[in-house]
Copies of this chain bind each other. A is one copy, B any other.
Amino acid sequence: MGNTEDGKNISASVKSGGKKKELKKETGLGLTNKKDENFGEWYSEVVVNAEMIEYYDISGCYILRPWTMAIWETMQEFFDAEIKKMKIKNCYFPLFVSPGVLQKEKDHIEGFAPEVAWVTKSGQSDLEVPIAIRPTSETVMYPYYSKWIRGHRDLPLKLNQWCNVVRWEFSHPTPFIRSREFLWQEGHTAFATQEEADTEVLEILELYRQIYEDYLAVPVIKGKKSELEKFAGGFYTTSVEAFIPNTGRGIQGATSHCLGQNFAKMFDITFENDKGEKAMVWQNSWAYSTRTIGVMVMVHGDDKGLVLPPKVAAVQVIVVPVPFKDADTQAIFDACVSTVKTLSEAGLRVETDLRDNYSPGWKYSHWEMKGVPLRIEIGPKDLAKSQVRVVRRDTSDKTDIPMAKEMMVDQVKEILDKIQQNLLNVAKQKRDECIKKIRTWDEFVEALGQKKLILAPWCDEEEVEKDVKARTKGEMGAAKTLCTPFDQPVLEEGTLCFASGKPARKWTYWGRSY
């Protein structure tokens, strides 16, 4: 430790007076905001103090620090391997789009045009034609799909890319959740039949569920977006939807779209089928972004800072020496180093904090702020008893476990598994407590006021959703559909739409959202 990138800001805070003016509160010792009282400020403080994010001098752009990138890379490794099993191949298309193709699909560009950033100059010269920066790559890629796809043997065409995209949003930017540049993967596939496209949409959606639930320990609801909320220019959109109890807002976690044949028509992506007839392809596109990380922070974080699920934590276990007066400090340090060695060799991500200029208590707070799932404390008494004390970040539970190699490894692994599971369970319980099933407009308004995730019978008419939006407009933002869950409760005959009074066609989640 000490000479690693983490823990940088700390030493600043203990020095007498910061040398630069921009230095504010960078100490890892506690947050000034509380999650339940001041959620927005709490969130900003956590992502900065946990050293995930540094604010940048261009609004809406953020620096992703190593503590963040480790999480991103873990998810990437999982997802990339999974899509490779599905024979999806990685490629890289340019950052730039010419205006002609960008505007080819009308609904699509209407959805993105206001947010597109334009390059108009290079050096001192004006470009002949302004060039757009990709907000997403449908229009970048599909002219080439048209070129590459000729016969049925060219299908399916299944590509993915890991890249940055730019959406020059004007609403309140939020680290991870709403930023002007973000990292994502975008998959773009083309099939001969709708059936194949439909199948893939759900296969990918399941991977997104796994990212949220199995890695980030965030419960999500799988479902279909409404016509109003679907991807601009697409056929239908499925998503995994998360929920932030503190703000009572839903958040679209990741989307898997079936584009149907709409882009195929616009970009002339046709093929000769096995009967020698010309046919249009069926297309999908799907993406998840660094937003995932923001959702995780919001769901698990507490008043001590970040809480990381073990599966994505850069450091799963932090070992802290607890020297005491006349005790043999060197022996304690040696035990810490040997504990790191034992656990590392067992495949865990472990570090020890041997810095001599911080107290154990300070270190506890620091690593709690950074969200490390498990802390191991080693003091003279532990040494004497050949044990170590382990403290869980999620529950603050303390246990003593034996120092003996195999026993320690097994027990630490078991505790980490429990933490991973507990984070999901607790988050699910909190989310479920927010779910309110309603049937009438009055109940809807009441539930909305209580920041609920509202499950309501709906007639599935676009005009009705627009009407609900208009009627709930206000300071907090309007309510809208989040998704129609695949897992549908029984819809009794005669059930009416909560908003229009027409016969309901489905149960749909409604609420405010990010």
Please list the residues of chain A having a beta carbon within 8 angstroms of any beta carbon in chain B: 2-5, 8-9, 11-12, 15, 18-20, 22-23, 54, 56-58, 61-66, 68-70, 73, 87, 89-98, 100-101, 113-124, 130-131, 133, 143-144, 146-151, 153-159, 163-164, 166, 168, 180-181, 183, 268, 270, 272, 355, 357
Contact = CB atoms under 8 A, between A and B. Distances in A.
Given A69-B89, A158-B5, A270-B19, A62 B117 contact: no
Given A98-B58, A116-B123, A118-B119, A11 B150 contact: yes
Contact of A94 (B63, B118, B123, B149): B63
Contacts of A119: 117-120, 133
A116 B144 CA distance: 28
Which 9 pairs, one residue from A and one from B, show the smallest C-beta to C-beta distance? A122-B168, A66-B89, A61-B94, A64-B92, A114-B123, A118-B121, A12-B150, A69-B90, A8-B148
A175 B69 CA distance: 30
Count copies of this chain in the complex.
2
Tell which of A22, A121, A159 has the most Cβ of chain B within 10 Å: A121
B54 A5 contact: no
29 contacts: A4-B87, A4-B89, A5-B159, A12-B148, A12-B150, A12-B151, A20-B146, A20-B147, A22-B147, A23-B147, A54-B144, A54-B147, A62-B94, A63-B93, A64-B91, A64-B92, A66-B89, A66-B90, A66-B159, A69-B89, A69-B90, A69-B92, A73-B90, A95-B181, A96-B180, A115-B122, A121-B130, A122-B168, A153-B355
A143 B21 CA distance: 12
Contacts of A18: 150
Tell which of A93, A130, A268, A357 has the most Cβ of chain B within 10 Å: A93
A270 B270 CA distance: 61
A142 to B, nearest CB: 12
A355 B235 CA distance: 33
Contact of A268 (B20, B66, B149): B20
Contact of A2 (B22, B57, B153): B153
A91 B56 CA distance: 14
A90 B73 CA distance: 9
Contact of A9 (B63, B97, B148): B148
